[in-house]
Each structure stands twice: as structure tokens, then as C-alpha cells.
Chain A
Amino acid sequence: MALLEITGLAKRFGDIIALSAVSLRVEEGESVGVVGPNGAGKTTLFDCVLGVVQPDSGQILFGGRRIDSMPPFRRSRLGIGRTFQRLELFSSMTPREHLLVTERVRAGGGRLWKDVIGLGRPSADERRTADEVLELIGLSDVADVPVEALSLGHCRLVELARALVGPLRLLMLDEPSSGLDEGERNTLVDVLRRVRHERGVALLVVEHDLDLVAAVVDRLVVLDVGRVIADGSVEEVMADPAVRRAYLGAVP
């Protein structure tokens, strides 16, 4: 049984067709890249899986369960983590606070009465887990700086770190490498490999940097104007003339 199984997903925004009948499978622990020119519907695909956008038709199964009508926060608690192309960080909070609140929420949230009598602060265990993730991503040095004072690259890593906290089965990354420098990019590749192999997390990566994609994915799906135009191993897909046409306009 596939971890994520999308069938016939379609979404229009007015006259613009973002997705038309997209079907996609991600197996447990598999790493899949989604590439395609801008406007191909990649981000809309992610939005539909997380539920922040309601698809017009089609169905989405996660772990064999239909999640189409589930509110987004529940899907997230099932173990779907995600980063955003346009940063969606909690301005005014530090990276450490990002991780601590995420950990608490993913574990089912705190009890209000505990908060009221002052028992709502993060536990030692939660702090340790947060420290481990910060260490893994290489954010320990800036763990207590409010994110609005961090560089774009650091902010991307904070989003990644936030997505990694808690029980995770599927990690969706939307252009994770944009804004990263060489060193940060290498950290990213390293972290993604480790997350996959150590925790068995499946990856769904939207990325324009094809070298990075090739380094972390087993399979590549190409979207163009809301349709899947190719699906296969990286080499296969790269050799496909339809893909080259979509990307470059014409085969040279």
C-alpha cells in the first residue's frame, strides 16, 4: 500500500487550470522529486495534499485513508510535514521556539488548565529533542535569534527543522534550496538523506535545482500546465524529449 496516493486531482482558479487529473503515488520511505516549469501546478499540488487548498475533484489517500475532507491541521498531525516556497515562519519567534511549539502541537497539544497554572512550559525532553534537531540542521548558533533577523537561507532551514519535529511520515519540500548558499545546500542534502534513512520518512521535493533533486530522489515526476508529462527514474525522465520541450521550450 502506498503512503500517499493521489488520483485524478484537479483544481482551477477561475480560468487558470492549476491541476488537471494529476495522479501520483509515493511509497513508504520513497523519495520523489516533482519538477516542472513555473506555473506547472507544483505548489498547488502540495496545497491540496496539506488541505490549505480544496481540490475541485480527485481523491487523496494517505496511509490508505482518505484525507480529502480532513481539516489541514489533522492531516499535519498524521505525519505530513511541509515547507513553503514563500516562507511561512512565525515572525517574532526564535528557531528554538518554532521547534518547541511544533513538538507540543504534533504530540496532541497542551492542556489549557496546565497552561493556566503555569505547567505549560516545555519539558526537558522536549528541549532536548529541539536541541537535537537544531544541531542536525546546523542552526544551534542562531537558535535564539528571532527569525526576522535571520537570512533567507537560515529561514529556509528553520522551516525544514520545523517540519522535521514530531512523528513524520511524509515530508513535502517546496523549493528548499532557493536562497541557500553552497554550505547550507550541502547540509540540506545531507539532512534529507539522513531523515530518509534513519527515520524512514518519505520525501516529496519540488525543486528547480536538478543536481540537488538528482542527489536526493529515486524517482522524478514532471508536471506541466497541471498534467503529469513524465514519471520515472531521474535518467529516464531527463532523456524524455517531452520534458526537455516543457523545460526549454524546444529540443535544441
Chain B
Amino acid sequence: MTQFLSYVLPGIPYGCAYALMATGLVLTYRASGVFNLAFGAQAYVSAVVFSVAVGNGWPVWAAFVVAVVLISPAIGLLMERFLFRYTRTAGPLVKLVPTLGLLIAIPSIVQMAIGTAPRLPAALVLRPVHVYFHLAGSAVSGEELSTTVITVVVVLALAFLLGSTAIGLRMRAVVESPRMSELSGVRADRTSAFAWALSSLFAGLAGVLLAPIYAVLSASDFTALLVAAIAAAAVAGFDSLPLALAGGIGLGVAQEVIGGYLPSGTVLSSGLRPAFPFVVLAIALVLRRSFRQGTAGDPLASCDPPTTAFRPPVRLPEVAVGSRVFGVLVAGLMIAVALALVPGNWEFVFTLGIVLSIIFLSITLLTGMGGQISLCQATFAGVGAFTVGQLAVHFGTSVLLATVLGGVLAGALGAVVALPVLRVGGIAVGLLTLSFALLADNVLFLYPWAGNGATGLTVPRPMVGNVNFAGAGAFFWLALAVLVLVGGAVKFLQGGTFGQELAALRGSETGSVAIGIDVRRLRVMVFALSAVIAGIGGALYAMLEQSVSVDDFNYQFSLVFVVVVAAVGVYSVAGAIEAGLLYAVLTQLVTSLPSRYSSLLALVFGLAALTYVRHPEGVVAYGKAWVLDRAEQLVRHLRRDEVHVAAPPGPQVPTDGGPEPDGSRIGGRGLGRVARSRHRAGTGSAAARGHRRGHGGEGS
């Protein structure tokens, strides 16, 4: 009993920090439907600011006020004002991607501001290591005591705020239905801004309270903390604040107790603490059906315009052919550059870009086509890589065969991960895959038969018949060939039955079921196929590097991958390739900068991912569309007369004079009008041309 208590007590301060974060997560989730993955980064910012201020001789209270009371809520307010105010009616992807971008970008800003020197955490209230008293035989230090007391006080204050004040009532109203509360005179924007500020305050508080637990402040520890908090929030169904509190404390305690009873020195005992949240999260998500509905309960939700799905416009033939020729020229130029013409390490960089493109294609398939988000693609890549390493070294399997097997194994794992995913949906898929990535990083990949821990594996390059791909040039061509095969396959999938079924599923799940699509099978298949591609890409990555370890495939890569692809363009095969090359080339360029700026890339892509809210097609795709729009205008200008003859303007006002409902519901005003007036006038001319005209009119 005493032993049990000696495990329970140290768990309580952890649990309190989890509980604070979980409470904050639930607060913003309920107030705006956003699951704020940047929460860990916000906690990190406050912890760093606090430590730096205290280190510079500030009094503790002043450092606390600046770090927790001022900066943290300010960040929350900025996020609400400039991003999440506009995502209220958007789908889960649009809500999740910007938080991922911030999760990547914020620590990068911090690093650039304070440099890469390790920061020691400062303690808040009581003397941290001083033992104030003993309870059931274990020492209670100032750190543990202050964390627990502050959590209890803060949560009680929150309960009072929500339960017994006017602003609390308004917040609860906005959560139920922002529109309905606006109609009743509540300013929904302001109320939700308040919720963001408040929850960010919780993030800051948790960051400062938990900082002394770590020897050195690092952003990744705070992300791990976030995952634990997510698990606690999942226990609460992302809904109930008291349950989130209980879940957090319970998780912290359970983690310590289980860790205490496991035999020490094994992978399980060292990896369990970071992996335990996964188990809890998976169970909670699968058991809690209520989360599937999300915040769809707003009775006035249908008043908001539906979100437009991205669809590439149909281009004039001249422009379409021109852009294709241009693309081929650019690709040829890059290959030439990669192969010799420019001095330096470019061959490796471009090969890396190609390999990354292959991994990124798995995101194109899953996220762009399938509308699902996975935060464990690097884990699938790792499975492919380690399979090749193990098979080639221990069993002497041919490397290419091992690559295929690696893909198959990753695919099988993908299908297994997809099974709980079937029951949940939207954001929960992202959370579940994120925690799966942590499980793999901390347990699975550490075993000698898998990733072999930090030592890693050496991976040979393949030899096919007499052709040896060990040389850098030969391997470049091999990687390019695989990219062409995989990219072509994804492109074909997009146009084939599979892609169309996925497009249908993205549009309407009920509609898909009604036409006979086996939605479960489709979801499992897209997960599995995407994992296969990631596995093949990972295998190639391992051959390129020739030595890989768990650090090459940790969860942070998964996050960065999604952010990079979302920023550049997630809907097309071209987007994945552009993202891969851009990432590889920019990474190479950043290495020539001072070390303080080593995380510049994270900032750039993180911020670029924020544009996902307005332009889900991606920054590069948007830029390309802009250029092509101009090109089309030019072409049209050049053959103005011809256009007039080809498509005379249809009657804009219906000839029968009756009141006509506006032909368009959203956006494409010109488009609906043209199509409709043609229909009315009974000209029966080619609708495709009207469509194209409509698009052109829209762009001008």
C-alpha cells in the first residue's frame, strides 16, 4: 500500500498539468470547434519566456504576469482573430491544418529569438526541491505542492466562471450555436475570442508549472505533453470540463503507477510513459461515440454556406498545353542540374527531394483525395525503411523485393490503424494517428528486431542483375523511376473508380452509402494504400541515407510532412513533387545559415500552412493558378474576335420575366448564371464551353 501510494503521489503533479492542458483544449474545442494542436507550443512559449525573464533577474511574479497573463492570452487572441474566426463552418481538415502549422512555426520563432542554447527551467511558487512534508512515506516537494494547489484553484475558478457568471453563460450559448446566440444578441466573435484567451492562459500556466519537471526546455517535450492532454480530453469526450480534469489527473497517476510496477530497464518500461496516452486515447475514442458528431449539433448550421471543395478549373487548351510543356522543361532542367551541371551536393539533395516526393504522395492520396488526415506517415515510412534494413541484412533478401515487402507491411499496419479510425472521423483520426506515431517512436522502433533504437540499421542499396545502384547517379535514376511509377499510379487512381469514390465520400458520406459505396472498405483501403506508398518512400530514404534510426522517422517528421504538403498543394501529384523538391532544396540552403536559423524552414512552411484556411489548394498551386489565369486572359485578348463568335453572351435576365432564384449558391456567380440562362433560353449549346467561360469570368 505504501509502495502504491509512493507511485500515486508523484503522478499527481503530472496529472494536474495534463488536466490544465486538457481543460484548455476542451474549452477552445467547444468554443470554436478547433482542436488546438498548437497548445503544446503555446505552453512552451510561456515556459521559455518565464525562464528567460527569471534568468535575467526579474522577480518571479513579474515574469509570471508577462509570460502567463499577458503573452499567452495574446497569442490566443491573435490566433482567434486572424485564423479561427473564419473556420467556424469549415471541415475538420481546415480547422486542423493551421494548428499544425503553428505547432511547427511557434517553436521555430522561439528558437530564432533566444538561440539554440539550452534553457534551464525556472520554478514558480515554492522552493522546488525543498521537501515541505512527507505523505505516506514519500516526500512532497515545493514543485509538486505548487502545481497541485494552483491547478485546483484555477479549475475551481473556471467552474465558477462558466457556471455562475454572465460571460460563462454566453460562452456556453456560443458553444451550442454561434448563430443562434448572435440572433439573441450575444456577440459570438467576442465570446469565442474570450474563450481562446482563457484557454491560452491555461496553456501558459501548464507550461510554467510543468517546466521544472524537465531538465532542459524543449518544444518536443511539450508536444508529448500535449498528446497526454489530448488523451485526457478524449476521456472527457472533448466535452466535459470536470471529466477532463479527472482524466488528466487519472492519466498522470496511472502512468506513474504502471511505470512503477513494470520491470525497469526494458523497452516497455522506458517507453511506456510516452506511449501510454496512445492506449488511453485509442480506447477513449473508440468507446466514445459522441465525438463522432463533433459540433454538428448547431440547429442553424445550414444557414452557413457550405464550404467549397477545391476543384481545378478547366483551362483553355493553349494554356493547358503550354503549362504542361513548361512543366516538362522545368523537370528536365532539374534533372540536368541534379546530375552534374551545378557544383556541390545537389545530386544528393535532388534524390532526397524525389524520395520525399514519394512519401508526400502518400499524403496526396490520403488527405488530398481521401479527405483524411494522418499524423503518422513518417511512422509508416519508418516501417518500410526498417523492413528493408532487417530483411537485407539478416536474411539477405534482394533489396528491391524487401522494398516491396516493406510497403506491404506498412500497408498492413495502415489497415490496422484504420480500424479504430473507422469508428471515429475528422479530427479524431489525426489525434489517433499522432498518438500511434508516439507509440511507434517510443516502443515499437526501439526493439532490436524493428528499428534497433538509437543505433539504427544500415541499409544497402540495391543491385538488379548487373546493374548496381550503389552509386549516387544510378540511385538518382532508380528513385526517379519509382517516383514516376508511384506518381503515375496515384494519378490513375485519382481518375479511376477509387478516386471517384473517394471524391464522392468527401462530398457526402450518406450520399455515398446511398449509391452503394462500401465506405468502411474504402476508408481502410485508402489508409492502407497510403501507408504502402509511405513505406516504399521510407525504404528508398533508408537506401539513400544508407543508415537509419528511429530519429529519422519520429512523429515530428509526420507533422512537418503534412504541413509542407498542405502548404504547397495537397490535391495534386504535382503538388507532392513540388513539395518534396522544395523541402529538400530549401533544407540544403538553410544549412548555410547560422545555426540559430536552422529552424527557419519550419517557420516558413508553418506560416504557409496557415493559408490553408483561405486556399486549401496550397500556396504553390494558388500561385500557378494565378499565373495561368493571367495567361488565359492574354490568350483571350489575342483572339478576342474569335471568342465573341464562339460564345455570344446569353441573356442575363430570363426572358419570361418571372422572378428567378439566383442560379448560384456560392462563389461561382458567373458560372451558375451562364449555365442557367443557357438552359432557359434553350440554346442547348455546349455546356462545357459555358463552364469554361464562367470560370474565366470569375477569374477576371
The reply to whether chain A is a binding partner of chain B is yes
A positions within 8 Å CB-CB of B: 50-52, 71-74, 76-77, 81-82, 84, 86, 88-93, 97-98, 100-102, 104-106, 109-110, 112, 114-121, 140-146, 148-154, 162-163, 165-166, 181
Which B residues between 646 and 700 are near A, CB-CB below 8 angstroms?
661-668, 671-672, 675-676, 678-679, 684, 687-688, 690-691, 694
Residues of B within 8 A of A162 (CB): 511, 515
Please state if A93 and B507 are interface contacts (CB–CB under 8 Å). yes
Q: Using CB atoms, name the residue of chain A closest to B671.
A: A149
Whether, in the assembled complex, B306 has its beta carbon less than 8 Å from a beta carbon of chain A, the answer is yes
Q: How far in angstroms is the closest Cβ of chain A from B34?
A: 22
Cβ-neighbour of B500 out of A91, A104, A114, A150 (below 8 A): A104
Can you offer 25 A-B residue contacts whose CB atoms are under 8 A?
A73-B519, A84-B514, A90-B503, A90-B512, A92-B310, A93-B503, A101-B501, A102-B515, A105-B515, A105-B517, A110-B497, A110-B498, A112-B525, A115-B493, A115-B499, A118-B492, A120-B496, A120-B498, A141-B678, A142-B675, A142-B676, A144-B691, A145-B687, A145-B691, A150-B665
List chain A residues, Cβ under 8 A from B302: 86
Which listed residue, A101, A142, A151, touches B497 by the CB 8 Å rule?
A: A101
A82 — which chain B residues lie within 8 A by C-beta?
514
Nearest CB of chain B from residue A107's CB, rounded to whole Å: 9
CB of B504 closer than 8 Å to a CB of A: yes
User: Taking the nearest CB of chain A, how far is it from the CB of B694, in angstroms?
Assistant: 8
Shortest beta-carbon contacts, A-B, top 4: A120-B496, A110-B497, A90-B507, A115-B496
- Other than A93-B503, A104-B497, A118-B492, give 14 A-B pairs with Cβ distance below 8 A: A71-B518, A72-B514, A74-B516, A82-B514, A84-B511, A106-B515, A109-B518, A118-B488, A141-B679, A142-B675, A146-B311, A148-B665, A149-B668, A166-B516
A91-B308, A148-B666, A150-B675 known; A116+B504 contact, CB < 8 A: no
Q: Which residues of B contact A71 (CB under 8 A)?
A: 518, 520
Residues of B with C-beta under 8 A to A74: 516
A115 near B513 (CB under 8 angstroms)? no
A243–B318 alpha-carbon span in the complex (Å) = 64
B661, B690, B691: the one contacting A152 at CB < 8 Å is B661
CB distance from A139 to the nearest CB of B (A): 9
| Bound: A104/B492 CA distance, A | 16
Residue of B nearest to A99 (CB): B515
Choose among B493, B508, B517 the residue that contacts A120 (Cβ–Cβ < 8 A): B493
From the candidates A118, A148, A166, name the one contacting B309 in the complex (CB within 8 A): A148
Contacts of B627 in A (CB 8 A): none
Determine the chain B residues whose CB is within 8 A of the CB of A150 once the complex forms: 663, 665, 672, 675
Contact status of A142 and B679, CB under 8 A, knowing A104-B500, A105-B517, A120-B498 = yes
B489 touches A149 (CB 8 A): no
* B309 contact set on A, CB distance < 8 A: 91-92, 148
User: Cβ of B85 < 8 Å from any Cβ of A?
Assistant: no
> Of B508, B513, B672, B687, which is within 8 A of A90 by CB?
B508
The answer to whether A149 and B510 touch (CB under 8 A), given A110-B498, A120-B496, A162-B515, is no
Nearest CB in chain B to that of A100: its residue: B500
Q: For chain B residues 510-541, which have a beta carbon within 8 Å of chain A?
A: 510-520, 525
* Residue B594 interfacial (CB < 8 Å): no
Q: Which residues of A contact B499 (CB under 8 A)?
A: 115, 120
Complex contact B665–A76 (CB within 8 A): no
Check A140–B687 contact: CB distance below 8 A.
yes
The smallest C-beta distance from B561 to any residue of chain A, in angstroms, reads 23
CB contacts (< 8 Å) of B510 on chain A: these are 52, 84, 88
Q: Size class of B's contact patch?
A: 35 or more
Closest partner residue, chain B, to A102 (CB atom): B515
A-B contacts at CB below 8 angstroms, number: 176
B516 A76 Cβ-Cβ under 8 A? yes
Q: How far is the CA of A142 from the CA of B515 in the complex (A)?
A: 21
A142 in contact with B306 given A77-B516, A105-B515, A115-B496 (CB within 8 Å): no
Are A116 and B514 in touch, CB under 8 angstroms? no
Task: Please give me the residue from chain B that is nearest to A153 by CB atom.
Answer: B661
Contact in complex: A91, B306 (CB < 8 Å): yes
When the two chains form their complex, are residues A121 and B495 in contact, meaning their CB atoms are under 8 A apart? Answer: yes
Contacts of A118 in B (CB 8 A): 488, 492, 495-496
Enumerate chain B residues within 8 angstroms of A109, measured Cβ to Cβ: 497, 501, 518
Please report the C-alpha to C-alpha distance between residue A106 and residue B675 in the assembled complex, in whole angstroms. Answer: 29
Distance in angstroms from B666 CB to nearest chain A CB is 6
- Identify the interface centre among A50, A114, A141, A162: most chain B CB within 10 Å of its CB: A141
Q: Which residue of B lies closest to A83 (CB)?
A: B514
Beta-carbon contacts under 8 Å, B440-462 to A? none
The distance in angstroms between the C-alpha atoms of A81 and B404, with both chains bound, is 41
* Residue on B nearest A103 in the bound complex, by CB: B515
Which residue of B498, B500, B525, B687 contacts A142 across the interface (Cβ within 8 Å)? B687
In the complex, whether B506 has a CB less than 8 A from a CB of chain A is yes
The residue on A at minimum CB distance from B661 is A151
CA–CA, A52 to B514, complex, Å? 9
Chain A residue nearest to B676 (CB atoms) is A151
Most A C-beta atoms less than 10 A away, residue of B311, B489, B514, B690: B514
List A contacts of B666 (CB < 8 A). 148-149
Expressed in whole angstroms, the Cα–Cα distance for A100 and B504 within the complex equals 11
Contact residue among A88, A140, A144, A166 (Cβ-Cβ distance under 8 Å from B508): A88
Contact A72 B665 (CB under 8 A): no
Q: Are A115 and B498 in contact (CB under 8 A)?
A: yes
Q: How far is the CB of B313 from chain A (nearest CB, A)?
A: 10
- Select from chain A the residue with minimum beta-carbon distance to B309: A92
- Chain B residues lying within 8 Å of A112, measured Cβ to Cβ, are 498, 525
Measured in the bound complex, the distance between the Cα atoms of B489 and A115 in whole Å is: 8
Complex Cα distance A109/B671, Å? 32
Output the least CB separation between A182 and chain B (Å): 9
- The smallest C-beta distance from A152 to any residue of chain B, in angstroms, reads 7
Q: Is the CB of A72 within 8 A of B691?
A: no
Contacting residues, chain B, for A142 (C-beta < 8 A): 675-676, 679, 687
Contact yes or no, B492 A141, CB < 8 A: no
Closest residue of chain A to B692 (Cβ to Cβ) is A144
Cβ contact within 8 Å between B492 and A120: yes
Chain A residues within an 8 Å CB radius of B675: 141-142, 145, 149-150
CA distance A106 to B444 in the complex (A): 42
CA distance A102 to B498 in the complex (A): 12
A73 touches B518 (CB 8 A): yes
How many angstroms from the CA of A56 to the CA of B503 in the assembled complex? 33
Q: How far is the CA of A82 from the CA of B667 in the complex (A)?
A: 29
Query: A106 CA to B671 CA in the complex, in Å?
Result: 31
* Contact yes or no, A143 B506, CB < 8 A: no
Q: Which residues of B contact A119 (CB under 8 A)?
A: 496
Instruction: Output the least CB separation between A163 and chain B (Å).
Output: 8
